[in-house]
Structure 1
Amino acid sequence: MTERSKEDQKDIRNMSQNTADEAAALKLFVVLSKAYKNVMDRAVKDMKKHNLSPSEFTILEVLYNKGRFPLQQIGEKILITSGSVTYNIDKLEKRELLRRVPSPSDRRVIYAEITDQGRELFDRIFPEHAAEVQQIMSGLNAEETLTASELLKKLGKGMERE
């Protein structure tokens, strides 16, 4: 066999591997997209049964679990735009579920803080929601859930490097 035909065979193997890698990546993309849609559809349905939009629910969840939080950072935390944050904060404030609190040390910073009424609501609905999320994820056992979390984290962090 000539040196050139050895290189051609190596190129063909590399092309086959690239094609297999591409096919695997496309399959993962489709499976991940479908899984995300199914999981989110059920989670959103649960949020809405408490008369909260997904954005309202997640804002309250951040405040419930983290305490007072800068308005400017809420969008980054729950992946919504600053305009959506303002709109949803306004709605939640009208319902007296949260309040805006100026920072005592920096006039540019405004915090959102859950009210007693908001905390009472979340004390009641969050355990139900957590149980629903656990039910949604019940297709995986505890070990598989942790593995999936680590793999998805790795996938997300891989995108940050590009």
Structure 2
Amino acid sequence: MTQDKHEYEKKKQDPSLKLFVVLSKAYRAVSDQVADDIRSKGLNTTDFGVLELLYHSGDQPLQKIGDKILLASGSITYVVDKLEKKGLVKRTQSEKDRRVTYASITDAGVALLNDIFPDHWKQIEHITDGLTEEEKRQAITLLKKLGAFADQLKKESES
């Protein structure tokens, strides 16, 4: 066996690489199912993400929405414009700092989420039924630990 082939075989068996592949595939499979459910309710995942953030966390500065739902800042204006035209979101200027604009969910937005969220939640429960309750808790703990470590590595590399 050549050195390169030996290294390749060794890397193929590395649990780090296997974890990354399995995690990526699992995320895609679950994410696709969730996206299909959201689309069946007449929204896309970005619109739903913004509405859900505002519903659960209250008014948000437009500049912060992207960070919280992993959306590029240039896309925020477009998404909020669409939701505003549908009457689901409104903009308000900060009274303390006129440079800051907040997005707020409207009564129509709240009514929409109150209507669709219970079924969406059931669908997420169904999608994750491949794990027991205890396995879900373990996965949450392990994935938080992995994510925190990756975040720390990023901060260290930026310093």
- Give the structure with higher Rg (CA): 1
Distance (whole Å) between structure 1 residues aligned to residue 43 and residue 135 of structure 2 = 31
Matched residues, percent identical?
Answer: 48
Which stretch of the first structure deviates more once superposed, 85-94 or 20-29? 20-29
Post-superposition Cα deviations, 1:79-117, rounded to whole Å, max 9, x if no partner, equal 010111111111000000000011111111111100011
- 1: CA distance between counterparts of 2:52 and 2:151? 26
Give, in whole Å, the separation in 2 of the partners of 1:22 and 1:56. 40
TM-score, normalised via structure 2 length:
0.87
Q: CA deviation at 1:161?
A: 2.0
Task: Kindly indicate whether residue 42 of structure 2 is the aligned counterpart of residue 58 of structure 1.
Answer: no
| Residue in structure 2 matched with residue 109 of structure 1 by the alignment | 100
- How many residues end up aligned between the 2 structures? 145
- CA separation in 2, counterparts of 1:35 and 1:21? 19
* Residue deviations 1:120-160 (CA, integer Å, cap 9, x gap): 10110011111111111111111111110111111111112
The Cα shift of 1:67 comes to: 1.1
Partner of 2:133: 142
Partner of 1:49: 40
What is the aligned partner in structure 2 of residue 3 from structure 1?
none
Q: TM-score, normalised by structure 1?
A: 0.85
Which amino acid in 1 is paired with 2:51?
L
Q: Cα deviation per residue 1:4-36 (whole Å; 9 max; x = unaligned)?
A: xxxxxxxxxxxx9xx579711111111111101
